[in-house]
Amino acid sequence: MTPTERLYYSDPFLFRFTGRVLAQGTWNGAPSVVLDRSAFYPEAGGQMADRGVLGGRAIRDVQVDDAGLVHHVLELPEGGALPEVGTELAGEIDRIRRRTNMALHTGQHMLSRALVDVANAHTVSARLGETLCTIDVDLDVLDERRVAEAEDLVNSIIDDDIVIRAFFPTPEELATLPLRRAPKVTDNIRVIQMGDFDVSPCGGTHCTRSAQVGMVRVLGVERYKGKGRVLFSAGRRARSELWAEASTLRALGKSFSCGPMDVPASVDKLRRDLTEVREALGAARAKLAESTAAGLAAQAEQSPGKPVVAVLDGATPEDLRSVAARLTSRPETVVLLAGRTPEGLSVLISRGSASSFGCGAFLKRAAEAAGGRGGGRPEHAEGRLPPTTDWPAIVASLLG
């Protein structure tokens, strides 16, 4: 069977076409249609497949097999049949998705070229995903300043609106071209030439002038599997991301009663204020723990040899630990504390260095009796019980 004629090779802006069904096939178990000619781009080379409508049915996926046959996987109703062989079908490409992919792929070529020129970083792989695009290079560390220079270079080329040519050179012509990378195939090598800026073999869909890319935006630089990775965006997707970020920045500015450009300073002030509040809260909690521990110690002196049992309203586990640490500084002391909050009853059992009380074993019995959970070591245990638990009653019943 003759390979599918790829109409996008000659015209990436062809969004409507007709093709005749050559065969009914399958792709990964799903029924597919093979046409004599198609403008749908099949997933390949790191670029996502086109979407759209073929013969009135939505396209789920487009893939190409080793024989060069393009498989169009259609959305079919239950029990629905594929178009018969010989049927002529009208196809329509999802224009927004195609234009986005064209900008992303063209932008990737341009950024890969610029990374070579500015940072001597050669692309080893690239991926154009639904939400994230990446370029992996042969350097383990990328200088972010160099990457920013590469981004600026790419956008200057976009501003220059240079011509982008896609063609199949003869073997003799191919041998004279300054390819940025070697072709992955040996026959029918397609080349994308961006003026004097970049020449690369590629079978994807690309813009025909650099200004059609709109913009290329680097989103970040990181290490991935021992290589440098650049995260980027381009075209409509980059604009949408920028608009969303600008909207968020404006909203933050309104919240802080300042302009968008003053948000960083407002956030810094908020951080400083928060640090001061936390420090003040920590000091207040320390004083409260000291006062609470002193009161409980005074009660314990009236009943020497008995554990200190108390329920502290609103006390967090951290508060309980602070109070217990002060009380158990006395070697013989055993404390059985609970903090009551709307979420439940936090419990803490601890002992001084001279006590042999089994804290973990006691909490396990208390949790079983109250329907809670908890555990720990012989010298210290923590857990949580239902909010309605009568902690003093539980302790009294278990201590006998």
CATH of 98-241 among 3.30.390.10, 3.40.30.10, 3.40.50.620, 3.30.980.10: 3.30.980.10
What does the pLDDT read at residue 67?
Answer: 92
Place of tokens 């026959």: 187
- Percent of residues, the chain, with pLDDT higher than 70: 100
Q: Are 1 and 22 in contact (CB under 8 A)?
A: yes
> Can you say how many angstroms the Cα of residue 125 is from the centroid of all Cα atoms in its chain?
20
Strands 70-74 and 57-64: antiparallel
Helix (H) or strand (E) holding 255: helix 235-256
- Whether residue 400 has pLDDT greater than 80: no
Pairing of strands 227-234, 30-35: unpaired
Using an 8 Å Cβ cutoff, are 121 and 115 in contact?
yes
Asked if residue 352 has pLDDT above 80, the reply is yes
The strands making up 373-377's β-sheet, listed across from edge to edge, are: 308-313, 334-341, 344-351, 380-385, 373-377
DSSP H helices, 257-390, are 263-302, 317-327, 359-370
The pair of structure tokens assigned to 5 is: 């004629």
**What is the residue type of 206?**
H
Q: What is the pLDDT of residues 16-50, one digit of tens each?
A: 999 999 999 999 989 999 999 999 999 998 899 99
Q: Among residues of the chain, what percentage have pLDDT more than 90? A: 84
Q: Which candidate, 33, 36, 30, places its Cα nearest to that of 4?
A: 36
CA 357, 358, 363, 369 torsion: positive or negative? negative
> 344 has which bridge partners?
341
183-223 per-position pLDDT tens digit? 988 888 999 999 999 999 999 999 999 999 999 999 999 99
pLDDT of residue 159 exceeding 80, the answer is yes
Per-residue pLDDT at 225 exceeds 90: no
Residue 338 has what pLDDT?
Answer: 95
At 67-97, the pLDDT tens digits run: 999 999 999 888 788 999 999 999 999 999 9
Using CA atoms of 327, 333, 334, 339 in order, give the dihedral in degrees to the nearest 10: -20
**Residue 163 one-letter amino acid:** V
Measured distance CA(48)–CA(31) in Å, rounded: 20
What is the mean predicted confidence (pLDDT) over 367-396?
93
Distance of CA 147 to the CA centre of its chain: 21
Closest C-alpha to 389, from 346, 349, 345: 345
- CB distance 394 to 400 below 8 Å: no
Q: What kind of fold does domain 5-93 have according to CATH?
A: Elongation Factor Tu (Ef-tu); domain 3 (2.40.30)
pLDDT of residue 358 exceeding 90: yes
* Mean pLDDT calculated for residue range 133-148: 95
Domain parsing of the chain, residue ranges: 5-93, 98-241, 297-399
The number of beta carbons lying within 10 Å of the beta carbon of residue 147 is: 24
Fold of 297-399: Diaminopimelate Epimerase; Chain A, domain 1 (3.10.310)
Which carries the bigger pLDDT value, residue 186 or residue 338?
Answer: 338
Mean of pLDDT values over 134-151: 96
Provide the 3-class DSSP secondary structure of residue 93: strand
User: Alpha-carbon distance 145 to 148, whole Å?
Assistant: 5
Mean pLDDT of 142-158: 97
Assess contact for 24 and 85: CB atoms under 8 A: yes
Say what the pLDDT of residue 117 is: 97
pLDDT number for residue 300: 75
The separation between the first and the last C-alpha atoms of the chain, rounded to the nearest angstrom, is 90
Give the span between the Cα atoms of 329 and 350, in whole angstroms.
11
Question: 341-344 — which CB contacts under 8 Å span 24+ positions?
Answer: 341/314, 341/315, 341/316, 341/387, 342/387, 343/387, 344/372, 344/384, 344/385, 344/386, 344/387
pLDDT in tens, 282-320: 898 889 888 888 888 887 787 778 899 999 998 999 999
b vs e for 40-66, b when ≥16 Cβ sit within 10 Å of the residue's Cβ? bbbeeebbbbbbbbbbebebebbbbee
Q: Please name the residue ranges forming H helices in 86-202.
A: 95-119, 144-160, 171-176
Report, as an integer, the average pLDDT of 114-143. 95
> Looking at the predicted structure, is the pLDDT value of residue 3 above 90?
yes
Query: In whole angstroms, what is the distance from residue 77 CA to residue 79 CA?
Result: 6
The two three-digit tokens of residue 65, written as one number: 């097999």
